[in-house]
Structure 1
């Protein structure tokens, strides 16, 4: 795959325009070497609105599991979270290359926010009744708004870069036609059909950029993913806090919830520490590396959200409102935490680890956290302690390596 450090035929990649939210501007690629590139207030607002949909998906997963429909809940969560994650990811990569921050760009981004809010409103129907029509409409609003952005970029760009923008617009449009044909008449998609369209969606970027990559900014992309990870982890803390508060108010019990609260906080704190332990932007040196890293975040972000749902499930089980065994409830925390740790290691931590001790720390910790489900009523606390020890071990090994 082409080296994304090259700007292709974009005539203005090194000529950034004024970005003040003013009148309509030429949508030309931003420079890859632009210094101090950071997320904008609009991008942060965009992320916060997307977390509304993540919270809805996590909440319905909790209800499905506590009602004894775990398989149904997991399937619904995967379908909905894919739509949320994919729409967010496509916007973030486009914005990294073409954020003009003029009126048209801002309005189109706000339309995408409307789309995710419509999608979020349809999540209960999707989970409870298998009716994905409203979520499909919200998803289409997000995706077709992005198509207009790609067409706008194509009007300005020339040569191979213009062809890349047009391929993006065409690919996204074709996929939306497929989703509408699948979801609007029937509501609940067959799993095989959903998987086929999901693969088609994920094939658009590598096919579109096969001859001329877009001018995404490595530092900016790394920051965008990091910020969304923080927000999702924060939503997990919020969901767990509300669950504990409700349990205490309704059942007047605290002793059984303190270990869950402590363990949950240790897990979330460790997840944040481990994710940001290395500067990943230096690894994003090509489309191949960046796409694999970006696609892998489906597991990182998805499990980060499930950790919060799992904490809610363990709280419900502890106060007797969920018909689950202690081990099964704990697994909803320990398993996603283990997957999170392993995926973070696989995506970027391993690229900066030196020696077998550093390389094995996170994979061994992931396995140990998963096995904590078998430790009884204090499984979440044990999982949190394992995560804390993992952080301490990683820090100690890093200090030793630099001495």
Structure 2
């Protein structure tokens, strides 16, 4: 039977156990547009590291990635509960996409201390989300207080973000950290009134798709860096080896993340908040690995003055953070499988330790490959539910 599309529908909560709940084409378009912002952030972080502006680059990376990740997270959870796919909903998402592109345009300035454009794009996205929550408040009486708390809380924080632009530079770090904490507190406060009906399988799929996006950006960035140096015949063999190791690292990261179904961890609101918020570390570290591999390519082409151990740390530290985050969020430190309970933290320690060897990128690839083998052997014969898009 052909479904008749309506230009407007009441924004009622979708069931949390709705069958065949998967990402929509609009959500995929939303993600695709965010690739631009993630890519620009990785490029600027690479340049900052290669130019030995490590602290400034790291601060810019963490701030900009937050500005990308947090609106994405909020959109994904809202859509899981209230995606009506009508005209007003689509137009609001269009505004959010436009805000994401504004953020992408402001990335270079943010890495040099000018956050105005990024804040404008961020506030634009968040205020578009407020209109969605107001619609939900009107159409869903059971969760009206929740929706109004979201709308009110988001609006207040956006006013504070704009006001922060006039604060002196000496208050930049503490003011940003305070606003980050307030942003994180809004969903916790709002959901206490009445929980929204997010769909565990849908949320896990959305997070999996974003993980693939950041891993894909790592591949693109590393490939571009190798391509730039392909004419350097003296370093060709080293570049080929580096590219191969980069591919092993990315593939192992993908394997480790998707080995366990994410929705199995979404058993309650507190668990969902920990899992959802904790993915900032997974997403950011995965994106940072790509920048680190590009710095390694620069080192082989003598385009950076960074010492080899610093180049190694640019890859091994985000790899270690990724491994620990996957262990804590996807598997759980209390997992009964002893090899996994020991293997993941041991691999993270080894990843950092090899930074001080002459070939850190090659060795961290070996460490991750060994962890994948350990995971396969340890879970052999055990039934593990897989998720399929």
Does the alignment reach a TM-score above 0.5?
yes
CA contact (8 A) 1:262 1:384 kept: no
Distance in 1, Cα, partners of 2:169 & 2:30:
27
Structure 2 match to 1:13: none
Please state how far the C-alpha of 1:353 moved relative to its aligned partner.
3.4
Which residue of structure 1 aligns with residue 386 of structure 2? Answer: none
Give the direction of change, closer, same or farther, for the CA distance of 1:258–1:360 in structure 2 (3 Å limit): same
Query: C-alpha distance in 2, partners of 1:21/1:89?
Result: 27
Measured in 2, the distance between the counterparts of 1:48 and 1:367 equals 34
Cα drift, residue 351 of structure 1: 6.5
**Which of residues 362, 369, 372 is equivalent to 1:388?**
369
Give the one of 172, 177, 198 matched to 1:195: 177
Residue-by-residue CA offset, 1:239-264 (whole Å, 9 max, x unaligned): 00000001223676312212211111
Give the whole-Å Cα distance in 1 for the aligned partners of 2:293 and 2:170.
29
- Per-residue CA deviations over 1:317-345 (Å, capped at 9, x if unaligned) read 11100111111101111110011001100
Q: Distance in 1 between matches of 2:302 and 2:31?
A: 35
Deviation at 1:356, TM superposition (A): 2.2
| 1:65 maps to 2:46 | no
CA contact (8 A) 1:68 1:323 kept: yes
Verify the 8 A CA contact 1:120 1:135 in the aligned structure 2. yes
Q: TM-score, normalised by structure 2?
A: 0.94
Deviation track 1:344-382 (CA, whole Å, cap 9, x = no partner) reads 001121268323222111111111112121221x21111
Specify whether residues 47 and 19 from structure 1 end up closer, same or farther in structure 2 by C-alpha distance, changes over 3 A only. Answer: farther
Partners of 2:88 and 2:97 in 1: CA distance: 14
> For 1:309-324, what aligned pairs fall within 5 Å after superposition?
309-324=291-306
Residues 98-137 of structure 1 mapped to structure 2, 5 A cutoff? 98-128=82-112, 130-137=113-120
Distance in 2 separating the partners of 1:140 and 1:281: 30
Aligned residue number for residue 18 of structure 2: 34
User: Matched residues in 1 for 2:164 and 2:171: separation?
Assistant: 6
Give the aligned partner of residue 379 of structure 1: 360
Q: Which residue of 2 aligns with 1:4?
A: none
Residue 50 (structure 1) aligned with residue 50 (structure 2): no
**Which aligned pairs between 1:137-216 and structure 2 lie closer than 5 A?**
137-159=120-142, 161-183=143-165, 190-216=172-198
Q: Secondary structure at the match of 2:145?
A: helix
Determine the structure 2 residue equivalent to 1:362: 344
Gaps (5+ residues) in structure 2? 384-389
Give the superposition deviation at 1:235. 0.7
Q: Corresponding residue for 2:251?
A: 269
Change (3 A) 1:149 1:20: farther
Question: Contact 2:286 / 2:322 at 8 angstroms: preserved in 1?
Answer: yes
RMSD: 1.8
1:95 to 71, 79, 100: 79
Q: Per-residue displacement from partner, 1:103-150 (whole Å, max 9, x unpaired)?
A: 11111101100001001101111112x111111110011000000000
2 CA distance for matches of 1:119 and 1:187?
21
Map of 2:321 onto structure 1? 339
Q: Which moved further from structure 2: 310-319 or 280-289? A: 280-289
Match of 1:301 among 276, 279, 283: 283
Mapped partners of 1:165, 1:19: distance in 2: 29
SS of match in other structure, 2:114:
coil
The answer as to whether partners of 1:132 and 1:188 remain within 8 angstroms in 2 is: no
Matches of 1:356 and 1:126 in 2, distance apart? 44
Cα 1:277/1:154, change in 2 over 3 Å? same
Aligned counterparts of 1:401 and 1:278: Cα–Cα separation in 2: 12
Instruction: Give TM-score scaled by structure 1 length.
Output: 0.91
Whole-angstrom distance in 1 between the partners of 2:217 and 2:380: 32
Q: Measure, in 2, the Cα distance between the counterparts of 1:186 and 1:143.
A: 24
Instruction: Kindly report structure 1 stretches of 4+ aligned residues shifted beyond 4 Å.
Output: 18-21, 184-189
- 1:398 is aligned, of 368, 379, 382, to 379
